[in-house]
Amino acid sequence: MILRKEFFTFTELNIITMHFNVLKYFILISAFVIGTNDVKAQRKSKKNNTVVSDVTIKTSPKLVVGIVVDQMRYDYLTRFWNHYEDGGFKRMVNEGFNCKNNHFNYAPTSTGPGHASVYTGTSPATHGIIGNDWFDKELGKSVYCAGDDGYASVGTTSKAGKMSPHRMITTTITDELRLHTQMRGKTIAIALKDRGAVLPGGHTANAAYWFDGNKAANWITSSYYMKELPKWVADFNSAKSVAKYKKPWDTAKPINTYLESVIDNNPYEGLFKGETTPTFPHDLPKLWEENGNYSILKSSPYGNSLTADFAIAAIEGENLGADNIPDFLAISFSSTDYVGHKFGVDSKEVQDTYIQLDKDLSRLFSELDKKVGAGEYTVFLSADHAAVPVPAYLKDKKIPAAYFDSNEMKEKLNEFVKFTYGTTDLIKDISNYQIFLDHKVIKNLDMSLKEVEESLAIEILNYKDIDRVFTGHQMWQSNYTHGIPYILQNGFNQKRSGDVLFVLRPDVISYSKTGSTHGSPQIYDTHAPLLFFGKGIKRGSTVARTEIPDIAPTMAALLGVSFPSGTTGKPIVEVLE
Just list the catalytic residues: 111
**Number of other CB atoms surrounding residue 56 within 10 Å:** 9
Q: How far apart are the first and last CA of the chain?
A: 68
Whether omega for the bond prior to residue 108 falls within 30 degrees of 0, making it cis, is yes
The residues near 203 (Cβ < 8 Å, ≥ 6 apart) are 165, 168, 171, 172, 175
Using CA atoms, how far apart are residues 222 and 198, in angstroms rounded to an integer?
9
The residues near 500 (Cβ < 8 Å, ≥ 6 apart) are 434, 435, 437, 453, 456, 457, 460, 469, 470, 471, 472
Contact 370, 414 (CB under 8 A): no
Beta bridge partners of 188: 207, 329
Contact 68, 382 (CB under 8 A): yes
Using CA atoms, how far apart are residues 527 and 100, in angstroms rounded to an integer?
9
Return the DSSP state at 560: T
3 state SS for 412-480: HHHHHHHHHHCCCCCEEEEECCEEEECHHHHHHCCCCHHHHHHHHHHHHHCCCCEEEEEEHHHHHHCCC
Can you spell out the DSSP letters for 67-122?
EEETT--THHHHHTGGGS-TTTHHHHHHHSEEETTEE--SS---HHHHHHHHHHSS
**CA neighbor of 555 nearest in space, from 214, 198, 123, 66:** 66
Contact 361, 47 (CB under 8 A): no
Q: Is residue 107 left, alpha or beta, with left meaning phi > 0 and alpha meaning psi from -120 to 50?
A: beta
**Residue 158: alpha-carbon gap to chain centroid:** 29
Using CA atoms, how far apart are residues 281 and 272, in angstroms rounded to an integer?
12
The secondary element (H helix, E strand) that includes residue 183 is none
